[in-house]
Amino acid sequence: HTGDSRAVLGVRRKGAEGQPWRVRDLTRDHKPDLPDEKARIELCGAQVVTVGNPPNTTCRVYSAQQAWPSINMSRSLGDLHAHSQGLSAEAEVMFLERPWDPATEDAVLVLGSDGIWDVFHGESAVEMAWHSS
């Protein structure tokens, strides 16, 4: 996983329609203001700047005399300019041992980009995916 895509897993007891899902984020968004991500970016000479007006602010990666738009993530695949600013193409990987019991639980996995997660919480996305199946 890289960038601001996200994976969430919803689990609940089989046949428990109407009961809430236990929702777990399986990834973290790679944002430039995370301490470890920011350190790598600054080590390469770029800056992490906050833009916008509260409560609608975001952090972006910027370099002096930059001729391309700033980016609001700290990892990216295939962005030639961003990699010169300390963005990484290295994926973060998480291994889970049996995250649910298929014999007794229903599970929904939702993979999506920031276009989903900027609008919906994990619980809402899992519920919509369940009802569309």
Which pLDDT tens digit goes with each residue over 65-120? 888 888 889 998 877 778 888 999 888 888 989 999 999 999 999 999 888 988 99
pLDDT in tens, 64-74: 888 888 888 99
Q: Mark residue 50 as left, alpha or beta (left: phi above 0; alpha: psi -120 to 50; beta: remaining).
A: beta
pLDDT average, residue stretch 5-22: 94
pLDDT in tens, 20-40: 999 999 999 899 999 999 999
d(CA 5, CA 118): 11
d(CA 107, CA 120): 18
- What percentage of residues in the chain have a pLDDT greater than 90? 62
Q: What is the pLDDT of residue 98?
A: 92
- DSSP result, the chain: --TT-EEEEEEEETT-TTSPPEEEE-S----TTSHHHHHHHHHTT-EEEEEEETTEEEEEEE-TT--S--BS-SB-SS-HHHHTTT-B-PPP----S-SS-TTTEEEEEEEE-HHHHTT--HHHHHHHHHHH-
CB atoms within 10 A of CB 106: 17
CB atoms within 10 A of CB 30: 22
